[in-house]
Amino acid sequence: MDSATDTALTFRDATDADVDVLVALIQSAYRGDASRAGWTTEADILEGQRTDPEGVLEVIESPDSRLLTVERDGRVVACCQLEHRGAHAYFGMFSVSPALQGAGLGRTIIAEAERRARADWGVSEMHMTVISVRDDLIAWYERRGYRRTGRTTPFPYGDERFGIPQRDDLEFELLVKELV
């Protein structure tokens, strides 16, 4: 067993009381200097916030969604959004503490998220969107069985709730994995 999973992980649905901790975790995994400690940083392509308390609370309170929170030794170390969308589930807001990235924790969490989506909702596919210029991240998801679809949606330029783009070619690409 690798070092990231030597200590037992606890998976639970986030509550309103988790909002501030989760916003800080998500921000640290993707934006600013703290994110550079991990490999999932978007700091070179986006500045500003990755999410805000309202966005996190919306996921927590939505009846078709959950924010799966991962704790180790009583501390929140990761999270991911799961949303039931008919025959598939949507996977988003995936964040692992930068200090713990690269040691297998993400692989464990995504496998548990897929298991829960199948078991709880009976879905046959998991969907996610990834910024298309994030080649390393897309390659990581491909190694987990996700495939690129070539279907893209525009990045919400001008809406600073999603960050401040540092380049003009950003878009989201849909990745899909069949859950069997």
Which DSSP string do the residues of 73-102 spell out, in sequence order? TTEEEEEEEEEEETTEEEEEEEEE-GGGTT
Tokens of 141: 């998801």
Amino acid letter for position 153: T
- State the pLDDT confidence band at 44, using cuts at 50, 70 and 90: confident
Question: What does pTM read for this prediction?
Answer: 0.90
Cβ contacts of 52 within 8 Å, gap of 6 or more: 23, 161
* pLDDT tens digit sequence for 117-136: 999 999 999 999 999 999 99
Where does the chain have alpha helices with state H?
19-30, 32-35, 53-61, 105-121, 135-143
Is the pLDDT at 36 greater than 90? The verdict is no
Least confident of 86-95, 118-127, 157-166, 171-180: 157-166
The mean pLDDT value of the chain amounts to 92
Q: How far is CA 126 from CA 84, 85, 145, in A?
A: 10, 10, 10
Cβ contacts of 24 within 8 Å, gap of 6 or more: none
- State the pLDDT confidence band at 4, using cuts at 50, 70 and 90: very low
